[in-house]
Amino acid sequence: MGLAYKDIRGLLEWRSGQSGGEAATLGRLTLTLHPKEISELRRVFANDPDALDWLDKYRYADFADEMLKQALKFNRVTSIDFSDYEGATVVQNIGEPLQPDLIGKFDLAIDGGTLEHVFNFPVAIGNLMRLVKRGGAVYTINPCNSLAGHGFYQFSPELMYRVFSPQNGFEIQFVRIAIGHNLSIEKTPNHEVYDVVDPAKYGNRVYLASRRPAMLLVLAVKRSEVEPFTEPVLQSDYLRKWDTAEPSALNWKGKLVESVGRSFPFITRMLSGYVERREASVRNVNAYTRRPR
């Protein structure tokens, strides 16, 4: 469980100019920065003596507590874990009912790679949402693709857009994909990071089929005190289908492809395979927008 350069930059976007308050982390998060990333952060924090002091003392895979205090300006960091083997502040199974004194206490709650290991995911993510007060934020980092076996689950942008929705009291700030080169994600410096459009706005499923591991990064802000999941969480493309009175008919292009396919099936298989692979990759510019490093 941990944070990296991409996570610091994403959190800074939301935290910009703020100070004080409390942060909670699921587990004690480590922080993995590579030399070029440290140099870039020195530029980012050039006018912040506290953050530079933290960077001077930083060692690879240190716990992230001091970064959260000195760079992101939180007064206190509370770690919540299933056991105290890494010195967690609070021992709590996040997949079981949350301790009442933790509800609505924090300005930021970070899941740095825990939820995919918790079997009771709906309860766990609901508890993560309950940790923050109104105006606070939740930040999550979880496997998205090519990491089957890392935990119980891999997650999709569709899930996060539907979970952190206004009906559950939240507003999405961003949903992103970070592409790695190693199964141990922290070993990849300078991840390729892409913003992902909401499938409901895209008008179709947003796929990702890749040979390299991908992590899902989500930041959402709590706008209202709503008990999560009192209404069903439903996939957007099914909602669209259910709202349509009749199945959509093929246009002239679809009819042409269907006609060619009957006579030359290998051509349509080849073309449809190419189109599907491109649509399910970060080269699909209608669904993915690459962010500057």
Q: Is there a contact between 178 and 144 (Cβ–Cβ < 8 Å)?
A: no
- What's the domain count of the chain? 2
At residue 274, does pLDDT exceed 60? Answer: no
**Is the four-CA dihedral 11, 15, 19, 20 of positive or negative sign?**
negative
Q: Are residues 271 and 187 in the same domain?
A: no
Whether residue 287 lies inside any domain: the answer is no
Q: What pLDDT, on a 0 to 100 scale, did the predictor assign at position 156?
A: 97
pLDDT in tens, 98-133: 999 999 999 999 999 999 999 999 999 999 999 999
For residue 265, which amino acid is it? P
Residue in 10, 58, 61 with CA at minimum distance from that of residue 178: 10
Q: Are residues 47 and 111 in the same domain?
A: yes
State how far the alpha carbon of 198 is from the alpha carbons of 15, 98, 135, 239, 255, in Å: 23, 30, 22, 14, 29
Q: Are residues 206 and 271 in the same domain?
A: no
At residue 255, does pLDDT exceed 90? Answer: no
Q: What pLDDT, on a 0 to 100 scale, did the predictor assign at position 136?
A: 97
268 pLDDT tier (thresholds 50, 70, 90): low
SS3 content of the chain, % helix, strand, coil (to 5): 35, 25, 40
* pLDDT over 70 percentage in the chain: 90
At residue 293, does pLDDT exceed 90? Answer: no
Could you give phi then psi for residue 11, rounded to 5 degrees? Answer: -70, -35
**pTM summary value:** 0.89
Q: Are residues 253 and 225 in the same domain?
A: no
Q: Are residues 231 and 258 in the same domain?
A: no
pLDDT in tens, 207-223: 999 889 999 999 999 99
For residue 243, the enclosing domain spans 239-279
